Structure 1
C-alpha cells in the first residue's frame, strides 16, 4: 500500500487536489491532500508566528500518523519547501519525493528566492519590512499568470482558484529552509510542466553544461516526467497527473545520464567553414575578413543562462566560432562575445555587456560602424528587445536563431525583455528568424507570439524554417536541410548589410 501526501503551492490548500485524489484512491492508494496552517480552510490558525517551520511541523505530524509502509510526498511550487524540510526529518518514512513543477531549494534558501517574478519578490520584501499585516494577499484573476502559467486550466477552475485562495503567511516565504542532508539520499522525481517553461531537454542541456547544481540529477534514483500543460496540472490535467504520480511511485520515469563523449554544445559545427584569424579584445572576439577598408559587422549573441564557471566560455564553442569565421569568409567582420547572463537575474547586466561590445566594435577603424547586424540565439533572444524597441540607424538587420522571444512563464522578467512586444515599434528593421520544428512547446509559443505581433504591425520578418531540427541544431542535426538554412540565414543577414 502506498500513501500519497499532496502539498500544494502558495495561497492554496488541499482542495486543489480533489480530482487527483479521486483518481489515486480509485487505484487503491491512500491519499492525504494537505492544507497547511493558515491556508485554505485553515486560515484562522495562522498567527503572526506562522512560518516555514510551522508548515514543516504540520507535515512531520502527518507523516507520523500515516501507517502505510511507503509514503510518496509531493510538493508543488512553494510546497516543495516544507516537503523537503519534513522529509529531511523523517527520511526513513519517505519512499520518494516528487517535485511537481517545483524548484530545487537547498539548505538556507527561503522560498522567496524561488519566486520567479522580481516585482512580486520586491513587494514581499517590502511587506516584510513594513509594520502591520504579516501575510501577502493572494493574486487577483489577472495576476495568477505571474506565479506560473495557467495554461490549460478551465475557466471555472481558475475562477475557483481565485475565490478560494487564502493569504500566504509571510514567514513561510522568508524563513530559510534548513536541511541536515538526510533528504539528499532519497529517491526523487521531477514532474516538469512544459507550458510553464522547462522540459527534460532543457534540464539535460544544463547537465551537459557541467553546472554543479544539476549533477545530482544523473543519480539513477532520480527520474523525470513531462506534462504538456501549465503550472497547475492538478487543475488542468488531473487524470494525467494522477497516472504520473502512480508511475513515479513505482520508480518509473526518464533517467538522465552523464554526457558520453563531448556534450552537445562542444560537438563539431554542421559544416566546414574557412579558417579566419581571430583577434581577442577583452570579452570580445573579432573574426576579420581580407579587406583594406572598413567592413560591415555581425555580432553573435549567445544564449543562456550559462553558469559562470563553465569552460570553455561560449565564444569558444564551435557554433559561435564557426558563425564568426563564416561571415568573415564572406567579407564581413564576425563578432562573438561572452556576456554575463549566468542566471535569470542577470539579463540587465548581459544587456549592458552587449551594448558595450557594440560600442567597442563600432569604434574599431576596421569596422563600418554604420552597418551592423545583431544575431541572437536561444535565451539570448530576450536581449534583442532593447534594439527592437528603438532601432538605431546603424542597425541594418536583427537575426534570431531558435530564440526565446518572450520570458517563459516561470522566469519572472520585466516587460523590458519581451521582444514579442518590442517588435511593434521596430519599424522597417529587417528581421531574419530561424525556427526549428522540434522546439520545446514553451519556447515555440514565444516565437508564435512574436510572429503574430510582427504580422499585425507589418514588420519585415523573414522566417527560415527547419522542420526536423532541434534547439541548438548546429552541433546535433548535421543534415543538408540544416546546412542550407544556416547558409540562407547568413547570406540574408549579409544582404541587408550591403543594401
Structure 2
C-alpha cells in the first residue's frame, strides 16, 4: 500500500476530537490513512460506519434512510459523550452532518464539508436528478445482487483515483449503497449548519462534478469558509497527509475561520 506520508505537527495544547463520516458506498475503513496519523498526533478520532455499509453491510435494508444515517452519528456523539466535536462529512455525508447539526448542535464545535453534497431541507438526492437518470439508477439498484435494492458501487477511477494500489484498496471494500437513502430527504428545522462555523473543503485535482453545485453554493455564503485541497475526491485515500494537515488547520479553535 503506497501513501505519501509526512510528519503531522501540531501544538501540544490543541488536541481535537474528530468524527469523520464517510460517503456513499464507503465505510469507516476509508479514513484509516488519516485517522492513524491524527491519533498519533494526540487527537481523538472516530470513524463510524453508517448502517448497511462496510462492515455493517449485513444490515442493508429498504428501511435505511438518510435519517438512519443521521441517527447513527447522533448516537455516536451521545453514547461516547463527545463534545466540542469537529464533524467532517465527505461527499454524500455532507447531508448527514447537516442533519446532525440540526439535531444536536450543542455537541459540535465546527462542521467541515469535505467535497460534500449540500441540499435544501425536504430535497432528496433523487430530486436533483433528471427522471431518466433516476430510472436508470433504480433499475441498477434492483440488479445489485443484494437482498434489498441498493445502488451498485462505482469504479474507483470515477472518484479520481489513479494509483493502482489506491484503486485496489478501495475497489475491494466498496459496498452497495441503500437505495432509500437517495430517495429520502432531511427535514431541517434550522438553516444549513445551524449557526455553527462551517467550512467547505473543495477538492480540485480533478474537480468532482457531482458536488460542484454544492461547492459553489458554499462559496457564495458570506458566513461560510471555503477553501481548496489539491487532490481528488477520494483524497483521504490518495493524499492522507494533505487531508490531515487541512483538518488540523480547519478544525483548530485558534484558526481565524468564520
TM-score per shorter chain, which class? 0.7 to 0.9
Question: For the residues of structure 2 that align with 1:26 and 1:188, how far apart are their CA atoms?
Answer: 26
Contact 1:247 1:253 in 2 (8 A): no
Distance 1:61 1:89 in 2: 11
Q: Structure 1: which 5+ residue stretches go unaligned?
A: 207-212, 256-499
Q: 1:155 to 1:253 in 2, by over 3 A?
A: farther
Partner of 1:217: 221
Distance in 2 (CA, whole Å) between partners of 1:101 and 1:158 is 19
Aligned to 2:228: 226
Which residue, 142, 146, 170 being the options, matches 1:161? 170
CA distance in 2, matches of 1:126, 1:245: 38
Q: Which residue in 2 is equivalent to 1:124?
A: 137
What is the alpha-carbon distance in structure 2 between the residues aligned to residue 236 and residue 215 of structure 1?
25
In structure 2, do the counterparts of structure 1 residues 9 and 112 end up closer, same or farther at CA, with 3 Å as the change threshold?
Answer: farther
Which digits, 9 at most, give the CA deviation of each residue in 1:292-320, with x for residues without a partner?
xxxxxxxxxxxxxxxxxxxxxxxxxxxxx
Query: What's the offset of the Cα at 1:54?
Result: 1.1
Question: Contact 1:38–1:169 at 8 Å: present in 2 too?
Answer: yes
Alpha-carbon distance in 2 for matches of 1:170, 1:158: 24
* TM-superposed deviation, 1:113: 4.8
* Secondary structure at the counterpart of residue 217 of structure 1: coil
Alpha-carbon distance in structure 2 between the residues aligned to 1:33 and 1:81? 17
Aligned-pair CA distance for 1:128: 7.1
Q: Which residue of structure 2 lines up, in the alignment, with residue 443 of structure 1?
A: none
Higher relative contact order (CA 8 A, sep 6+): 2
- Distance in 1 between the 2:179 and 2:239 partners? 30
What displacement does 1:25 show? 0.8
**By how many angstroms is 1:129 displaced?**
8.9
Q: Where in structure 2 are the equivalents of 1:73-472 lying within 5 Å?
A: 73-113=87-127, 121-126=134-139, 133-140=148-155, 144-145=157-158, 148-150=159-161, 153-181=162-190, 183-197=193-207, 217-219=221-223, 222-250=224-252, 252=255
SS in structure 1 at match of 2:89 = strand
TM (norm. structure 2) is 0.80
Where in structure 2 are there 5+ consecutive unaligned residues?
Answer: 1-14
Q: CA deviation at 1:70?
A: 1.2
Cα deviation 1:247-286 (Å, max 9, x = unaligned): 111153777xxxxxxxxxxxxxxxxxxxxxxxxxxxxxxx
**C-alpha displacement of 1:140:** 3.8
CA 215–74 in structure 1, closer or farther in 2 if over 3 Å, else same: closer
Q: 1:158 to 1:254 in 2, by over 3 A?
A: farther
Tell me how far 1:156 sits from its aligned partner.
Answer: 1.2
1:139 positional shift = 2.1
SS of match in other structure, 2:168 = helix
Alignment RMSD: 2.9
Verify the 8 A CA contact 1:192 1:226 in the aligned structure 2.
yes
Aligned equivalents of 2:235, 2:132: Cα separation in 1: 25
Asked if residue 45 in structure 1 is aligned to residue 59 in structure 2, the reply is yes
Distance 1:42 1:134 in 2: 16
Shift of 1:236: 1.0
Alignment partners' CA distance in 1, 2:256 and 2:174: 32
Q: Is the contact made by 1:225 and 1:253 (CA closer than 8 Å) also made in structure 2? A: no
CA contact (8 A) 1:4 1:31 kept: yes
- Tell me, what secondary structure is at the counterpart of 2:221? helix
Normalised by the length of structure 1, the TM-score is 0.43
Query: Contact (CA 8 Å) 1:224, 1:253: kept in 2 or not?
Result: no
